Amino acid sequence: MAAKGLVEKFRTHKNDTGSPEVQIALLTARTEELARHLKKHPGDHDSRRGLLSMVGKRRRLLNYLKKQGNQNYDKLVKELGLRR
């Protein structure tokens, strides 16, 4: 899904582009794309490092969202198909 579509699907209000929900959705899309790239190019260590960085950032955002007691956390994890 394109970035614009993800923003529209997970935003919390009309002008929302930076809420944790949107950031997590965008990071998930980018990590899936990068994982496909790394399957074709297993020696690309720079991209692997970037992937690990993105996964870590997504984990921190998910922890923040869960700590806030936000019910969007469960819905977001389910929609994105994340293992949590």
Query: Could you tell me the residue range of the domain that residue 30 belongs to?
Result: 17-80
Please, are residues 24 and 79 in contact by the beta-carbon 8 Å criterion?
Answer: no
Q: Say yes or no to pLDDT of 39 above 90.
A: yes
**6 Cβ partners below 8 Å, 6+ apart?**
22, 25, 26, 29
State the total domains in the chain: 1
Q: Can you give the CATH number for the domain in which 35 is found?
A: 1.10.287.10
Reported confidence tier of residue 7, pLDDT bands at 50, 70, 90: confident
Mean per-residue pLDDT over the chain, rounded? 91
Q: Decide if 60 is inside a domain.
A: yes
Q: What is the per-residue pLDDT for 58?
A: 96
